[in-house]
Structure 1
Amino acid sequence: MATGYIGDIRKLVGHMPLILNTAGGILLNDKKQVLLNLRTDTHNWSLPGGYMEFGETFAQTCVREYKEDSGVDVEIVRPLKLFDEGIFTYPNGDKVQNVTQLFLVKKVGGGLLSAETDETIELDYFDFDQLPPLLNQQTEDMLAFAKDNV
């Protein structure tokens, strides 16, 4: 069951399809590999990031969600692209169309989570040409764009 802002919306609209704003970040290590998190809800890999809370900007969402998903404090380097295509169905049947602002980010503090959380099972860096099973087509599109533009 979703909690917070999304949980409050779901209490009102049930499983009605939603359009939601999200933000995610591309963090590269010194080998030009990208950090991904293995999600607890779908058991596949995604960029750290997530849903915007009421009153937040895309940039604030990216920074907050990056810390929650990975343990890493990031700073926005620059916006990369807005992604607005694709419908995703969660395991519980909830359908969403995510409007996602993708950012290039840099590490400014913190460290990778050392234990599983309620959102992240594992974190790892991957080569753009050797990615694990990804969350959805939008995640694939974001990583393909980043590969050619960062």
Structure 2
Amino acid sequence: MANYIQEIRQLVGHRPLILNTAAGVLLNENNELLLQERSGNDDWCFPGGFMEFGETRVETCKREFKEDSGLEVEPIQLLAVFDDDIYTYSNGDQTQLITNLFLVKQVGGKLLDHPTAETSQLKYFALDNLPHFFNQQSSKMAATVIKYVNYKN
């Protein structure tokens, strides 16, 4: 996908892009939330990422969650769609991310125990003690998870 976005950026430069993403919410038995510390900036986010051409949002969630965490997941419920945030990267690229946030269950895999190109570390957090998030959209996603858990209980 990075090559796809790089190709588009070569054509349009820093002009704003609308990009589709999917992310997963994995809660453990204590309703702690699995989050990913992003490599390179020490901020946290939900495992997930950009949709590849021809992929469904469910396929994107499963693929990106596996890449970011090492875990195989199955989306079981769409919690929300976020589409009102614009993010400007340090190089000036602007994006409006349309993110599908899924509640997921683990069906396989093993949690990464080493850093990768995209993940510094993974950690479960109590919902009342969440870390600094990568962007405003991730903060809104966390608020949605908290509302979901409070409603469910």
> Given the two structures, how large is their TM-score scaled by the length of structure 1?
0.94
Aligned letter for 1:7? Q
Q: Is the 8 A contact 1:49 1:66 kept in 2?
A: yes
1:31 — aligned with what?
30
Q: Is the 8 A contact 1:76 1:104 kept in 2?
A: yes
2:113 — aligned with what?
114
1:147 — aligned with what?
146
Counterparts of 1:78-93 in structure 2 under 5 Å?
78-93=77-92
Query: In 2, distance between residues paired with 1:68 and 1:135?
Result: 18
Quote the offset at 1:3 in angstroms: 2.5
1:50 — aligned with what?
49
- Unaligned runs of at least 5 residues, structure 1: none
Deviations 1:46-99 (A, max 9, x none): 000000000011111000000011111000111111110111112222111100
Query: In 1, distance between residues paired with 2:41 and 2:97?
Result: 16
Secondary structure of the 1:106 match is strand
Alignment CA distance shift 1:74-1:144 (3 Å)? same
Query: In 1, distance between residues paired with 2:8 and 2:42?
Result: 24
| Deviation beyond 2 Å, 4+ runs, structure 1 | none
Quote the offset at 1:4 in angstroms: 2.4
1:3 — aligned with what?
2
Query: In 2, distance between residues paired with 1:42 and 1:94?
Result: 17
Query: In 1, distance between residues paired with 2:61 and 2:3?
Result: 17
> Given the two structures, how large is their TM-score scaled by the length of structure 2?
0.93
Q: Is the 8 A contact 1:28 1:35 kept in 2?
A: yes
Matched residue count: 149
Q: Is the 8 A contact 1:42 1:91 kept in 2?
A: no
Query: In 2, distance between residues paired with 1:99 and 1:64?
Result: 17
Deviations 1:92-130 (A, max 9, x none): 221111000000000001111111111001100011111
- What fraction of aligned residue pairs are identical, expressed as a percent? 53
Q: Is the 8 A contact 1:41 1:91 kept in 2?
A: no
CA RMSD of aligned residues (A): 1.2
Query: 109-118 or 6-15: which moved more?
Result: 6-15
Deviations 1:113-149 (A, max 9, x none): 1111110011000111111110111111111011111
Query: In 2, distance between residues paired with 1:41 and 1:24?
Result: 20
Query: In 1, distance between residues paired with 2:11 and 2:39?
Result: 25
Q: Is the 8 A contact 1:42 1:90 kept in 2?
A: no
Secondary structure of the 2:112 match is coil
